Structure formats: C-alpha cells, structure tokens
C-alpha cells in the first residue's frame, strides 16, 4: 500500500487528490517500482484538464519518474531488483509512491546521473533529442527558433542545439528568463511580451528566416511562427501551452514558402525498445559530457502536486521541476 495523486474528474488543480493506493504485484513483463522522484511536465496539465484524455477515471497522471525496482514479474530480463531506473512516456501513472511499470519501458540510470536528475530529464531530454535529431536534424550552421526557451524542454534543447553548432534564438517571458536561457546556450533571447518576435527573428537572420521553429505554445504563436521560417523550413509543433491551434488551410504552407509541418510525439519516436534506448543513451551521453546540464529548479512534495500545477500553468517555473516521493 502507498499513496498516489488520483483524479476522479477532469478540471483545475483541485481535482488532484492525495489518496491511499495499492498498485498490486507485477505480472509477466512488469516491475514494481518505488519512486524517489517524479517529473512535472505540461502534458500532465493536458491530462488533468482533459485536453489529452486519459481513461478510465479515476486515473493517476504523470508520464515520467525514477526510482528503484522492488520486485519483478515473470520473464523480466531488462532490469533486476535493486536497479535504479528512469522512464518517460506511456502508460500514465507516475504520480504515485509505488507503481507497476512494463519492464521494457525502463532505462537503467548510469552511476553519474542521480535518481532525481533521472526524473527531471527523461521526458524533456528525450523530447529534445527527437526534436533536434529526428523531427528536424539540426546541423552546424543552422539557425533555429525555440519557444519557451527557459522552460524544461527549452533549456535542454538550447544547450543541445548549441552543442550541435546551431545559432539558437529563443522566446522568453521576462528578463530573468532571458538571462537563464542565454546562460544555457540561447544566443538571442527575445522577450515576446515586449518585442515582435517575428521582426526580431528576421533581423537576427538578416531576413533569411530560421531553418526550423520548435513550437510548443500553440494558439497564440503558431501562425507567427510560420512567418519566421526560411523557404522550405520546418515547423515542429509539439505542444500547445496557450491552447489548441485552430483548424487551418494547409495551402498556407505553400503560400509562405513551401514550408514543412510535423506534429510529433515522444511516444511514437520511442515506441520500439531499441528506439527508446537510443534516445536515452544519446541523452545520457550529452549529460555525462557536460554539454547539457540538468538543473532542478523547483521541487515539491508529491502530495502537493496541485500547487506544482498552479505554478507551472502560471509560468512561475523555469527549467526542470520534480515531485518528491517522501
């Protein structure tokens, strides 16, 4: 028996309830995992509000965590009891002290990476990996625009893109966040509340436009993001923090320069175990090299997940945040 955050209906942060929870015992191919920490991500908000439905209710949200394997089910060979492991992706259920997980969705953590770092980096870090090496492969000399550059994915993506040799432009909401992004590889932070980010991108790129836009804001920025691209540039839409993107006529992509648009997901890019391990290994390597630093800027007790959601939605967080299972 343990405790978990459960939601019996969708809605605001108040639907996140701290309740007794018995995860049961692992079946074939499963493990019982005791969390040390759980990642806080915007997809958790989407699940809570019902924008991305999870069913059936009641349900436990959370897509990322790290801890120790306490028991294994029949046929498990990927991990052993006592292993420190981390994961990101389906199935939801991370907001719990203990949970059942499919063994083939776990990655063993290297000794050089702490368990809390593992909980803070897997979803955001593997997202950055597919963004920069999958959806559009960033090369030395490229110019890219990353929205929410001081966020969890943003700080990792800025560092990684800089390591790959790109010129990194990023949008941020405050001077404090601009300084944070700049210290993490963002060459040109743009304060989007005070500046027209399209005009600034055109100025920085001498009217050429960027090779790729990494678009996680959605409704309020998407159409302007198209105007930041060079002809045949790529817009990678991987989130919608401001709301869903309204329906659009795809002929606008031709009118604005034969642009490319993709709507990827981490779940698709890591559906096969070998792809999951490739993403995790690439992430572990850049962290071990020091090219990407994983910094936990906020911690909350798991029981206070509702407050963590309020802060996340209120744009009060920067970088990575974790919920601690105490």
pLDDT reported for residue 316: 86
Q: What is the pLDDT of residues 42-75, one digit of tens each?
A: 889 999 999 889 989 999 999 999 999 999 999 9
Delimiting residues of CATH 3.90.180.10 domain(s) in the chain: 2-113+294-324
Work out whether strand 296-301 and strand 188-191 pair parallel, antiparallel, or are unpaired. unpaired
Is a pLDDT exceeding 80 seen at residue 319? Answer: no
104 half-sphere exposure, CB direction, 13 A CA radius: 10
* Span 201-243, pLDDT tens digits: 999 999 999 999 999 998 999 999 999 999 999 999 998 878 8
What is the structure's pLDDT at 127? Answer: 95
pLDDT at 241: 79
Confidence of residue 326 (pLDDT cuts 50, 70, 90): confident
**Token output for 114:** 């702490």
Residue 190 binned pLDDT confidence (cut-offs 50, 70, 90): very high
Span 191-203, mean pLDDT?
Answer: 96
- The mean pLDDT of the chain is 95
Q: Look at residue 145 in the predicted model and tell me its pLDDT.
A: 98
Place 90 in a pLDDT band, splitting at 50, 70 and 90. Answer: confident
Beta carbons of 257 and 230 less than 8 angstroms apart: yes
pLDDT over 80 at 1, yes or no: no
- pLDDT tens track for 119-159: 999 999 999 999 999 999 999 999 999 999 998 899 999 99
User: What percent of the chain is modeled with pLDDT above 70?
Assistant: 100
Higher-confidence position of 89 and 292: 292
Using CA atoms, how far residue 261 sits from 199, 251, 258, 278, in Å, is 21, 12, 10, 24
Residue 240: per-residue pLDDT: 84
Residue 263: per-residue pLDDT: 96
For CATH 3.40.50.720, list the domain ranges present in the chain: 127-266
* Mean pLDDT calculated for residue range 86-97: 94
* CATH 3.40.50.720 fits domain 127-266: yes
Looking at CATH, the fold of the domain delimited by 2-113+294-324 is given as: Quinone Oxidoreductase; Chain A, domain 1 (3.90.180)
């Amino acid at each position: 028996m343990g405790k978990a955050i459960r939601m019996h209906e969708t809605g605001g942060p108040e639907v996140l309830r701290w309740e007794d929870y018995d995860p049961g015992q692992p079946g074939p191919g499963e493990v019982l995992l005791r969390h040390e920490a759980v990642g806080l991500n915007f997809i958790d908000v989407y699940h809570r509000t019902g924008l991305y439905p999870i069913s059936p209710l009641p349900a436990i949200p959370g897509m990322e965590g790290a801890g120790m394997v306490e028991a294994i089910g029949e046929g498990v060979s990927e991990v052993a009891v006592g292993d420190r492991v981390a994961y990101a992706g389906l199935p939801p259920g991370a907001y719990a002290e203990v949970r059942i997980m499919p063994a083939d969705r776990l990655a063993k953590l290297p000794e050089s990476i702490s368990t809390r770092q593992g909980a803070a980096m897997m979803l955001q870090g593997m997202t950055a990996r597919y963004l920069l090496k999958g959806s559009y492969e960033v090369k030395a000399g490229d110019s890219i625009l990353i929205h929410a550059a001081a966020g969890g994915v943003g700080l990792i993506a800025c560092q990684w893109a800089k390591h790959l040799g790109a010129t990194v432009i990023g949008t941020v909401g405050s001077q404090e966040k601009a300084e944070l992004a700049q210290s993490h590889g963002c060459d040109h932070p743009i304060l989007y509340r005070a500046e027209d980010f399209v005009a600034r991108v055109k100025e920085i790129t001498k009217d050429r436009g960027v090779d790729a836009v990494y678009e996680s804001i959605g409704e309020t920025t998407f159409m302007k993001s198209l105007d930041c691209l060079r002809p045949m540039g790529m817009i990678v839409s991987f989130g919608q923090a401001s709301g869903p993107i309204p329906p659009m006529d795809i002929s606008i992509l031709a009118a604005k320069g034969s642009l490319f648009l993709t709507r990827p997901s981490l779940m698709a890019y890591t559906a096969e175990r070998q792809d999951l391990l490739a993403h995790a290994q690439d992430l572990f390597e850049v962290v071990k090299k020091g090219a990407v630093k994983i910094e936990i800027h906020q911690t909350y007790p798991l029981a206070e997940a509702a407050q963590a959601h309020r802060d996340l939605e209120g744009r009060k967080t920067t970088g990575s945040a974790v919920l601690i299972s105490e």
